[in-house]
């Protein structure tokens, strides 16, 4: 049995964005209501030069930006078309427009409309209003949920002061003002785009395109004000910078560090959601690096922060370590539209903590990963592991010097590692253990916050339930080497175990070390 390796998911390439088009395009008023349909688009590889006389805000032709209707998922098109046919204005907004500019597949699509939410409810047969502070519509379409918000709801949003004392740019008409007012209350400039898919216009009122070219994450309003309004934006800044490979602007970075402790005000569910976006969607390694750089890892994952401290890993360190390598190998198998279940990255964190606490023979770790993969068949795993003749990665102190073990000794070592991983999982969900993690590191902020809920702990624990001395229950192993991403996102155990084993095996025995 072999554990296959998948090609690296490509990171964004910004070269195609230099230079950008900035000429204003005329507002299009169609004679009849168009539909968003697939179309052929011949695009010049080089976009037009910036017009220095253009206004600070821009209306850009989406075709010149390389937008194709095939970028928009079919259920999203149906929702857009149905609202448009009712006579409402509809826009795609936020991160999905940014991702389309960057030629990335959006994680999800957000729709903004001039219709009231009650009018949205009447338009779609299966629709519900969710959220109290800022209600939106969840439209169920072709098996997915499409989020639709309303201009009218945004106007009534409590606790927000539109425009933040920012003066509206000149040259606005009434529709421009409504769009600008909505954009200025968003989080980051690169999330402040609006795209009218019918008029083929992308609106950029807050300099988002310039920040994309600079590869910068910058808050829409002064960072201290923005983060005090919503401290979850601190984590979103990390997440976006990690996923896109962007840097964080100086002012924004300063406020991230200064206000980092405020994230403890967030409820555990929100923290878990943000951490899952960081670690389960293909940018885990970069996210961990940035969390460590800005002092957030000390608060969110103290055991992992302690590991960095013990091994002299500096805040801006460019080196790697075993924890980062595990997530590097996980990232290669994931993407924003192909995430994993959260139990997978929790299980990886628990395994690494166990190895950090007690280094292991690389053959034991290999056999352990193989046994997880095949559903708990220790005999097969031990037999395969003992035939491994490729070198392990000697950079990691978590790997002890290999020694020859007979089959029975190797099996016992596997079972001992399993119990150690389970103990690590328990410690990661214990407030007392978390609080003591950084006791020898007084420079770190104190935190006993645990955001991993009982259900996720039990789900991660079930990854290793197949590894027992004897069991009447037979666990099914995954037969195909191809990843089923729907099963992976649902958390189906054969798929989770398959990816867990690949990541661990490829970290201990990197493919390039076996090549001549």
Among left, alpha and beta (phi > 0; psi -120 to 50; other), residue 131 is: left
Scanning 134-231, the segments in alpha helix (DSSP H) are: 151-155, 174-183, 208-214, 223-229
Catalytic residue among 108, 317, 357, 448: 108
CA angle 318, 319, 325 (to 5 degrees): 115
Catalytic residue among 110, 204, 331, 506: 110
For this structure, is 187 an active site residue? yes
Say if CB 432 and CB 448 are below 8 A apart: yes
Catalytic residue among 142, 165, 176, 187: 187
For this structure, is 416 an active site residue? no
Distance of alpha carbon 6 from alpha carbon 8, whole angstroms: 7
Q: What are phi and psi of 139, to 5 degrees?
A: -95, 120
**For residue 61, with 0-12 CB atoms within 10 Å meaning exposed, 13-18 middle and 19 or more buried, which class applies?**
middle
For this structure, is 110 an active site residue? yes
Distance of alpha carbon 47 from alpha carbon 106, whole angstroms: 22
Distance of alpha carbon 114 from alpha carbon 84, whole angstroms: 10
CA angle 51, 198, 26 (to 5 degrees): 35
List all residues 6 or more positions away from 356 whose beta carbon is below 8 Å from its beta carbon: 307, 310, 322, 323, 398
Residues tagged active-site? 108, 110, 187
């Amino acid at each position: 049995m072999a554990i296959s390796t998948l090609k690296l998911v490509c990171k964004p390439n910004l070269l195609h964005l230099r230079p950008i088009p900035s000429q204003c395009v005329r507002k299009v008023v169609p004679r009849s209501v168009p539909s968003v349909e697939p179309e052929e688009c011949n695009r010049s590889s080089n976009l037009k030069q910036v017009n220095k006389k253009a206004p600070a805000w821009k209306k850009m032709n989406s075709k010149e930006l390389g937008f194709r209707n095939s970028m928009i998922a079919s259920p999203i098109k149906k929702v857009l078309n149905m609202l448009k046919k009712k006579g409402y204005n509809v826009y795609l907004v936020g991160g999905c427009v940014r991702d389309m500019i960057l030629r990335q597949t959006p994680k999800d699509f957000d729709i903004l409309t001039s219709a009231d939410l009650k009018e949205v409810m009447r338009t779609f047969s299966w629709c519900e209003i969710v959220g109290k502070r800022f209600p939106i519509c969840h439209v169920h379409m072709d098996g997915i949920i499409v989020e639709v918000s309303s201009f009218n709801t945004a106007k009534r949003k409590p606790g927000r002061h539109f425009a933040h004392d920012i003066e509206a740019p000149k040259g606005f008409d009434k529709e421009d003002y409504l769009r600008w007012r909505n954009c200025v209350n968003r989080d980051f400039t690169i999330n402040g785009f609006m795209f009218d898919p019918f008029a083929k216009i992308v609106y950029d009122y807050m300099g988002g395109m310039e920040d994309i070219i600079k590869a910068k994450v910058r808050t829409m309003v002064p960072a201290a004000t923005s983060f005090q309004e919503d401290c979850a934006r601190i984590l979103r800044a990390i997440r976006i910078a990690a996923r896109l490979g962007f840097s964080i602007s100086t002012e924004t970075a300063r406020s991230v560090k200064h206000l980092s402790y405020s994230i403890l005000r967030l409820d555990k569910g929100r923290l878990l959601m943000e951490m899952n976006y960081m670690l389960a969607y293909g940018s885990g390694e970069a996210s961990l690096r940035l969390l460590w750089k800005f002092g957030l890892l000390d608060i969110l994952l103290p055991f992992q922060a302690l590991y960095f401290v013990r091994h002299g890993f500096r805040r801006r360190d460019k080196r790697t370590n075993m924890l980062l390598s595990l997530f590097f190998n996980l990232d290669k198998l994931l993407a924003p539209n192909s995430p994993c279940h959260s139990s997978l990255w929790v299980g990886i964190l628990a395994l690494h903590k166990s190895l950090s606490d007690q280094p292991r023979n690389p053959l034991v770790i290999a056999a352990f990963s193989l046994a997880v993969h095949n559903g708990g068949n220790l005999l097969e795993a031990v037999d395969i592991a003992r035939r491994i003749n490729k070198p392990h990665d000697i950079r990691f102190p978590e790997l002890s010097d290999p020694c020859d073990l007979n089959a029975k000794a190797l099996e016992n070592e596997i079972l001992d590692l399993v119990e150690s991983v389970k103990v690590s999982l328990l410690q990661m969900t214990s407030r007392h253990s978390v609080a003591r993690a950084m006791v020898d590191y007084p420079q770190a902020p104190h935190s006993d916050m645990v955001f991993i809920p009982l259900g996720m702990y039990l789900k991660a624990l079930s990854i290793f339930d197949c590894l027992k001395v004897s069991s009447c229950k037979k666990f099914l192993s995954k037969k195909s080497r191809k990843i089923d991403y729907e099963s992976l996102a649902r958390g189906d155990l054969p798929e989770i175990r398959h990816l867990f084993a690949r990541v661990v095996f490829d970290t201990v025995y990197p493919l390039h070390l076996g090549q001549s």
